[in-house]
Structure 1
Amino acid sequence: MSNMFCFQCEQTAGGKGCTNVGVCGKKPEVANKQDELTGALIGLARATNGKSGGKEADELVMQGLFTTVTNVSFDGDRVDETKELIWKEKAKHGDGQDYDAASLWAGDTDIVSLRSTLLLGMRGMAAYAWHAYVLGKEDKDVTEWFYKGLKALGEDHTVDEWLGLLMEFGNINLKCMALLDDANTSAYGHPVPAKVTTNVEKGPFIVVSGHDLLDLKHLLEQTEGKGINIYTHGEMLPAHGYPELKKYSHLKGNFGTAWQNQQKEFDGIPAPILFTTNCLMTPRASYSDRVYTTSVVAFPALTHIPDGANGVKDFTPVINKALELGGWSEDKHFTGINGGSTLMTGFARNTVLGVADKVIDAVKAGAIKHFFLVGGCDGAKPGRNYYTDFVQQAPKETVILTLACGKFRFNDLDIGEIGGLPRIMDMGQCNDAYSAIQVAVALAGAFNCSVNELPLTLVLSWYEQKAVCILLTLLALGIKNIYIGPSLPAFLSSNVLGVLVEKFGLKPISTPEEDLKAILG
């Protein structure tokens, strides 16, 4: 009998599932506790009959689902603490039997596939909903759907009913992404194009990883005037485009590349690293004493920054560690994986639609012949050089829209401009797929056609559950012929995959040469 079972991320063992220990480093006991946590959440949804249980319950549902996202929590004690809070909350609403955790992955292969896809998508949406929630934004329909979806996970459904739930979820996740877009732009303004250095100045500094912009803002406020520079890492790069964040002069640049390179890039770094969300890897001894976690992120023996009573966390331990370590004694020059030392970001929907007339004219004149959205999660599994090669080989009359950390495969490349616009446009974090959707809808309206009729192809890389919820949203919108890689999800059974291929034209990537030829003719 296996010690655990997990197949929710792209690098899962053998492309089938982790059974002895997680490839991410998660121990069996933690993985099993997270399954039990999921069972408790289903029990809570049963107790509330699939309806919101109120503020405390809503928070626990979002945090509980978020906790189980890959590379978020490795601390079994903290998982247990959350589960016990859910039990107490459930007791307020009556009898809601927990779902047997072992049943999550047991039964008919296709049903397990459909049930798992819904669960994993909900985990991704919970992350987005939580980021909006801490900024004071909530959508009743989104919150209610967590309960509906959780209750459905513990019930029997036909294949058609599961497929219907997945499409319904995809539409709800679009509302969630719109909610987070509104939360971020209301708090920090609409992103504007920003040129970001990969160099690090001498002196004390802090590296901030993850996705939570509010944590970054509070850290910027608390370090202002203290001689400490702040550098983003991974999915935090788009922060440099927000007016209310970039106004801080000590937000200096971006350190490192995508999440899977952190153990090498953080090796012996003379500065603390703050993880606000995923993706945390097991810290090496050379820097484990300077890694800090917050929110749902947790790892045994690391210092955790708790929530503040007034909504503002106290980052004093991180600040003191930065001053103690002192940073480097001289400026350091770093580059991206292709040797570039400058990254561009800030091309969210407001920026792109602001020059829509130029884009439309360029398309009509033939200067732009095709748009590619090359984005998604990065990862360590071989085959991801495909995305670098794809961008390099894309004809000069094409534009590359990108988002999420997969862009670190190519965002330091200089592949030129078209009509004064860079050919690579970074639209932001993974949740900023909403921006890409809005741009596509606007272009379709301008050309009086459907999105599927646009000269636009989505070439996606996936790793974890946020990519799952975005894919379900794209499918729910009827967007077809999406290319996905570097490998297909282990949780998609052959029959379920067959349905997606037949109905939506979902395509596994092959080689850049073959795929470009198929797309462009």
Structure 2
Amino acid sequence: MFCYQCEQTMRTDTLDGCATDKGVCGKDANTSDLQDILIYQIKGIAQYAQLARSIGVIDRAVDDFIQYGFFTTLTNVNFTATRFVNMVQEAARIRDSIKAQYAAAATAQGKPIEEPTGPAQFQPAADMDSILKQESVAVVNKDHELVGEDVNGLRVLITYGMKGVCAYSHHARMLGYQEDEIDAEVERILAYLTTNPTDIEDLLTQALSAGHLNLKVMDLLDRANNGTFGDQEITQVRVTPVAGKAILVSGHDLHDLAQILEQTKDQGINVYTHGEMLPAHAYPGLKKYSHLVGNFGGAWQDQQREFANFPGAIILTSNCIIEPAKIYRQRIFTTGPVGWPGVRHIDNGNYAPLIQAAKALPGFKQDEEAKTITTGFGHKTVLGVADKVVDAVKSGAIEHFFVIGGCDGAKPGRNYYTELADKTPSNTIMLTLGCAKYRFNQNEYGDIGGIPRLLDMGQCNDAHSAIKVAAALANAFECGVNDLPLSLMISWFEQKATAVLLSMLASGVKGIHLGPSLPPYLTPNLLAVLSERFDLRVNHSPAEDLQTALGRAVA
């Protein structure tokens, strides 16, 4: 195996990447290699889907598979090798289906039938052992000695960014929101990668295209969430347990949470959110369920300890799962793209096994003292008080804005974000999103004229909200986003974060601080280019970075 798609990647003097029998995330070599093969096949499906679309043939089931398949390969999503064997076989059938549709339509229209090469022609073997012997065509760094690390790095930057794009798009699709324009661009970019591009400028252009695409996808997901569950409202969320039977819902997918809430209604079971599900409490269509009682725990990397202390049933709806400890392995479930060997999987929307497990478990014996945190500061909420924010800036009450958030992780150095938040001056506002907020979101920062200093904007995909707020402020002050008193201190971890970074760069945002360490596929040469064009910055100390942002020392 060779994998370097996430921040926890092994780094040595000779190699940046997990290239042993098991990655740091717990993914074994077989699963890693099967994921590479699946990605290779999906690019081949995109080749035929693009040709078919060019003559008017669109198969939405093909696009569903492309985006779901990419999602399953994100860090900490699916570790079940046998499921990937099935998906590899299914990918071949999907490819043959769209190929046949394309050929029939071309013949009917009197047009020549094109035969794309590369991934489009891949034929998987019949069993796992034989499929694994085919992995050499699909490994992500197979051409690096031929084309160089810079070209290879840009190719995988696009591939990994597209994984994030497809994950966000899948969440929207689950709520019935889909756009042909988005699906077509997904196909185009994936098909582009099959041409083995080598031109650095062209690759950079395509990387920014992936960023523009992700902006459209995040906007679609925002409309899907708000259109389905109502606009976010400022909400106090309980973070201490309530007596009773319990289910813990982790991951990102609001559609799955809604189904679970509906199926547990009047069942005498309390539902808690975990990780990136915290913002669900801000949506009227979800918080209307009185048995959605609070949030339990924090970010994904603490789940082994937190899940062990949760006395009920647990379900993962998307990333990030890590190896379940024995103490809770028999009461954890997965659904959607998630999987772990030996863990029960629910794939039909019927959560009866989860509910039965919750009823059989003790739950919380008593209430704990009520404590709350606040969420619900989506772009519509913040822009609803934009006039007060603008006045506060003009009066000097607000000196600066900081976006502090992103994807959290377990490696040392991430206390940077806690220290940074705690050191921000009392006349500054912090916008936070993603699971990195758990580093500091229970700290008290006060308010400025009734505006809380810490505004939780939601999940990692709600970077879209931060961009909208920044654009609105720039419009109010008749300046560019980069002229605002605004600094972005972004915690990078996995491929959704890669997609968000590309979106910010595509939006022309400059001066982003990215950390705590940079993606290993961003070579020194690529980093130099991004630093020159976008002022992309590496974290220093919180005090140094605050001084850079504010132009003065901070105590």
TM-score, normalized by the shorter chain, greater than 0.5: yes
Please say if residues 51 and 144 of structure 1, whose CA atoms lie closer than 8 Å, have aligned partners that are also in contact: no
Q: Does the C-alpha gap of structure 1 residues 494 and 51 become closer, same or farther in structure 2, counting only changes over 3 Å?
A: farther
Structure 1 residue 97 corresponds to structure 2 residue 95: no
Q: Aligned partner of 1:113: which letter?
A: G
Could you list the per-position Cα deviations for residues 246-267 of structure 1 after superposition, in whole angstroms to 9, with x for gaps in the alignment? 1111101100010000011111
Instruction: Tell me which residue corresponds to 1:41.
Output: 42
Instruction: Name the CA distance, whole Å, in 1 between partners of 2:143 and 2:28.
Output: 21
Larger radius of gyration: 2
Instruction: Name the CA distance, whole Å, in 2 between partners of 1:268 and 1:367.
Output: 43
Shift of 1:326: 2.4
For 1:355-394, list aligned pairs within 5 A: 355-394=385-424
Instruction: Name the CA distance, whole Å, in 1 between partners of 2:388 and 2:49.
Output: 52
Shift of 1:454: 0.5
Instruction: Tell me which residue corresponds to 1:430.
Output: 460
Q: TM-score with structure 2 length normalisation?
A: 0.90
Instruction: Name the CA distance, whole Å, in 2 between partners of 1:410 and 1:416.
Output: 13
Instruction: Tell me which residue corresponds to 2:345.
Output: 304
Of 35, 39, 55, the match for 2:60: 55
Shift of 1:8: 0.4
Instruction: Tell me which residue corresponds to 1:130.
Output: 170
Instruction: Tell me which residue corresponds to 2:3.
Output: 6
Could you list the per-position Cα deviations for residues 82-125 of structure 1 after superposition, in whole angstroms to 9, with x for gaps in the alignment? 22111001112335223920354432111110000000000001
Instruction: Name the CA distance, whole Å, in 1 between partners of 2:297 and 2:50.
Output: 46
Report percent identity of matched pairs.
Answer: 47
| Superposed CA RMSD | 1.3
Instruction: Tell me which residue corresponds to 1:276.
Output: 317
Instruction: Name the CA distance, whole Å, in 2 between partners of 1:143 and 1:49.
Output: 10
Could you list the per-position Cα deviations for residues 175-211 of structure 1 after superposition, in whole angstroms to 9, with x for gaps in the alignment? 0100000000000011011111111112101000011
Instruction: Name the CA distance, whole Å, in 1 between partners of 2:385 and 2:439.
Output: 26
For 1:58-69, list aligned pairs within 5 A: 58-69=63-74
Could you list the per-position Cα deviations for residues 406-439 of structure 1 after superposition, in whole angstroms to 9, with x for gaps in the alignment? 0000000101000101100000000011111111
Shift of 1:156: 2.8
What secondary structure sits across from 1:190 in the alignment?
coil
Instruction: Tell me which residue corresponds to 1:167.
Output: 208
Instruction: Name the CA distance, whole Å, in 2 between partners of 1:329 and 1:11.
Output: 38
What secondary structure sits across from 1:387 in the alignment?
helix
Instruction: Tell me which residue corresponds to 1:446.
Output: 476
What secondary structure sits across from 1:48 in the alignment?
helix
Structure 1 residue 115 corresponds to structure 2 residue 152: no
Q: Aligned partner of 2:423: which letter?
A: Q
For 1:170-319, list aligned pairs within 5 A: 170-307=211-348, 313-319=349-355
Could you list the per-position Cα deviations for residues 430-450 of structure 1 after superposition, in whole angstroms to 9, with x for gaps in the alignment? 001111111111100000000
Instruction: Name the CA distance, whole Å, in 1 between partners of 2:481 and 2:96.
Output: 47
Shift of 1:50: 5.6
Instruction: Name the CA distance, whole Å, in 2 between partners of 1:253 and 1:37.
Output: 38
Shift of 1:71: 0.4
Instruction: Name the CA distance, whole Å, in 2 between partners of 1:328 and 1:65.
Output: 38
Instruction: Tell me which residue corresponds to 1:310.
Output: none
Please say if residues 57 and 86 of structure 1, whose CA atoms lie closer than 8 Å, have aligned partners that are also in contact: no
Please identify, of 100-109 and 444-453, the stretch whose mean Cα deviation from structure 2 is larger.
100-109
Structure 1 residue 397 corresponds to structure 2 residue 427: yes
For 1:422-501, list aligned pairs within 5 A: 422-501=452-531
Instruction: Tell me which residue corresponds to 1:320.
Output: 356
Shift of 1:46: 2.2
Shift of 1:44: 1.1
Instruction: Tell me which residue corresponds to 1:25.
Output: 26
Q: Aligned partner of 1:378: which letter?
A: D
Instruction: Name the CA distance, whole Å, in 1 between partners of 2:141 and 2:193.
Output: 8
Gaps of 5+ in 1: 308-312, 335-340
Shift of 1:45: 1.7
What secondary structure sits across from 1:229 in the alignment?
strand
Instruction: Name the CA distance, whole Å, in 1 between partners of 2:26 and 2:340.
Output: 11
Instruction: Tell me which residue corresponds to 1:511.
Output: 541
Shift of 1:51: 5.8
Please identify, of 78-87 and 27-36, the stretch whose mean Cα deviation from structure 2 is larger.
78-87
Q: Aligned partner of 1:470: which letter?
A: V
Instruction: Name the CA distance, whole Å, in 2 between partners of 1:105 and 1:256.
Output: 41
Could you list the per-position Cα deviations for residues 40-64 of structure 1 after superposition, in whole angstroms to 9, with x for gaps in the alignment? 1111122234665511211110111
Q: Aligned partner of 1:434: which letter?
A: H
Please say if residues 3 and 140 of structure 2, whose CA atoms lie closer than 8 Å, have aligned partners that are also in contact: no
What secondary structure sits across from 2:543 in the alignment?
helix
Instruction: Name the CA distance, whole Å, in 2 between partners of 1:467 and 1:101.
Output: 23
Please say if residues 246 and 270 of structure 2, whose CA atoms lie closer than 8 Å, have aligned partners that are also in contact: yes
Instruction: Name the CA distance, whole Å, in 2 between partners of 1:54 and 1:207.
Output: 36
Q: Aligned partner of 1:44: which letter?
A: I
Of 77, 101, 110, the match for 1:72: 77
Instruction: Name the CA distance, whole Å, in 1 between partners of 2:139 and 2:276.
Output: 33
What secondary structure sits across from 2:139 in the alignment?
helix
What secondary structure sits across from 2:11 in the alignment?
helix
Q: Aligned partner of 2:229: which letter?
A: Y
Q: Does the C-alpha gap of structure 1 residues 383 and 333 become closer, same or farther in structure 2, counting only changes over 3 Å?
A: farther
Q: Does the C-alpha gap of structure 1 residues 159 and 264 become closer, same or farther in structure 2, counting only changes over 3 Å?
A: same
Shift of 1:146: 1.6
Please say if residues 272 and 321 of structure 1, whose CA atoms lie closer than 8 Å, have aligned partners that are also in contact: yes
Instruction: Name the CA distance, whole Å, in 1 between partners of 2:277 and 2:176.
Output: 20
Shift of 1:330: 1.9
